[in-house]
Structure 1
Amino acid sequence: MDGGMAQVAPWLAMLGFGAFHGLNPGMGWLFALSLGLQQRSEKVIWLSLLPIAAGHALAIALAAVLVLLGLRFISLGQLQWLTAFALFLFGLYKLFNFYRHPRWVGMKVGMGDLFLWSFLMATAHGAGLMVMPALLRMAEQQGMAQDLDLDIVQHPGAHADHALAAGGALWLGVGVHTLAMVAVMGVTAWLVYRKFGLAILRSRWINFDLIWAIALMIAAAAAFLAAMGVV
């Protein structure tokens, strides 16, 4: 992979995962659509997407925090291997249990309930774990891959600068991911509400639970390749 492509690859990954998460009905747009249909209001759909997006963003932000905290104690290579194994094990679990879902209390929910539900769903499905390889690559690009002890001795304050730059990049990555997810969620919910109706979910919709499990395994494979220095 050439230098220019290597620089934009993690950003494209965050954008692509955002679109993929937004298309998955299990991440929230189906919930928002159901509320809109119940209240016969398109406005309710759009308003419901806001706390859903915020809850999802919090789950992704926690993954970014784990990256920043992890790099304070172990090397980038070690964290890459740890992430790869965690993704593989979780992906393997989801592959054989993709039909299981966290339970919810019902459809009478407020904005706070939607926020909490979205955060729990994203966490339970490993949304943050899925994007961690891309977040690690962003941190690497900001100089966090250097040996910290040697870096601090030779360049006092450099680690703090690297951490600050990496933190800024990671938060921007979380924002890019969330915006892509909201855009796809909104378009998908609007198309089902206005054009296709719920019948499309029974007749033509695909098994996103299985696809999600496969995506976790693909992300694990990419994480292993990154840990080996292949990509």
Structure 2
Amino acid sequence: MNPPTSTWWTWLAVAALGTFHGINPAMGWLFAVALGLYRHSRRVVLLSLIPIALGHALAAGSMLIAGLSLGLVIDHSWLNRICGTLLLSWAAWHALRGHRMRPRVGMQTGFVGLAIWSFAMAASHGAGLMLIPALMPICSALPGAGGAAGAAGPTALIAAIALCVHSAAMLLTTGVISLAVFDRFGVSGLRTKWLNFDLLWTGTLAACGLVQLAL
């Protein structure tokens, strides 16, 4: 079964969110660069991308599956309200407490520790929650969207494809930035060209919540 193609913008939004998550240094590229510099190895930078992507995909996929599965048993209008409220609440929490809850991982960590760190960061930033507003319209248009038995299979397929598209965009972006910083710019440039991603991320979460409530 092929996913609906009439809402092509949905897949563009999913990929764009992956790119946005990849740009955020908290999602992994800054740690990959730091680990590569510590071990004086470009290969370490590249290998670090694998556990970073896996941890991010697991966190985003868990939230995505939970949200879309809930949509199989309750009315989508109620799900929109629930997800919108969660996104706004998460934005408020992130603004007040998120910067104080960073997991600590040292430069001696292995790839398992890096995957766990990536999972924790993606989960604490609500990465998976952002995907639900983008996918809700396409899931609502599925045949049998109001019943779990009729829509479970198509919903699972859409969730899997969305996660792959999102993760691929995130991995590509993270890899490009990591190599660019490691090979050319260096982390010293961040002292003068730093963007407040915490503030940007909080605003994005709130914007996604407002969009969800408006659906």
Is it true that 1:185 corresponds to 2:167 in the alignment?
no
Counterparts in 2 of 1:1-231, with a 5 A limit?
A: 7-97=7-97, 99-143=99-143, 145-146=145-146, 148=147, 159-226=148-215
CA distance in 2, matches of 1:144, 1:187: 41
> Larger deviation: 64-73 or 194-203?
64-73
For residue 104 of structure 1, report the CA deviation from its aligned partner.
Answer: 1.0
CA distance in 2, matches of 1:5, 1:197: 41
The amino acid across from 2:54 in the alignment is A
- Deviation of 1:114 after TM superposition, in Å, equals 0.9
Contact 1:95 1:214 in 2 (8 A): no
Q: Are the structure 2 counterparts of residues 79 and 66 from structure 1 closer, same or farther at C-alpha, using a change threshold of 3 Å?
A: same
Q: Give TM-score, length-normalised by structure 2.
A: 0.92
Larger Rg belongs to: 1
CA-CA distance at 1:23 after TM superposition: 0.4
Aligned-residue offset at 1:35: 0.8
SS in structure 2 of the partner of residue 86 of structure 1: helix
The structure-2 alpha-carbon separation of the partners of 1:192 and 1:34, relative to structure 1 and needing over 3 Å to count, comes to: same
Percent identical: 36
* C-alpha RMSD of the superposition: 1.8
Give me the TM-score of the superposition, normalised by structure 1: 0.86
Q: Which runs of 5+ in 1 are unaligned?
A: 149-158, 227-231
Quote the offset at 1:55 in angstroms. Answer: 0.6
CA distance in 1, matches of 2:51, 2:14: 20
Q: Deviations over 1:11-65 (max 9, x none)?
A: 1111111000000000011111111111111110110010110010011111222
Which runs of at least 4 in structure 1 moved beyond 6 Å after TM superposition? none
How many equivalent pairs are there? 212
Name the SS for the 1:99 alignment partner: helix
Secondary structure at 1:74 match in 2: coil
What is the distance in 2 between the residues matched to 1:203 and 1:101?
A: 25
SS in structure 1 opposite 2:100?
A: coil
Q: Aligned in 2, Cα 1:144/1:199: closer, same or farther, shift over 3 Å?
A: farther
Inter-partner Cα distance in structure 2 for 1:115 and 1:98: 20
Q: Structure 1 residues 18 and 144 mapped into 2: Cα distance closer, same or farther (>3 Å)?
A: farther
- In structure 2, how many angstroms separate the alpha carbons of the residues matched to 1:114 and 1:144? 41
Structure 1 contact 87–216 (Cα < 8 Å) conserved: yes
Aligned mates of 2:183, 2:105 — CA distance in 1: 28
8 Å contact kept, 2:105–2:117 = no
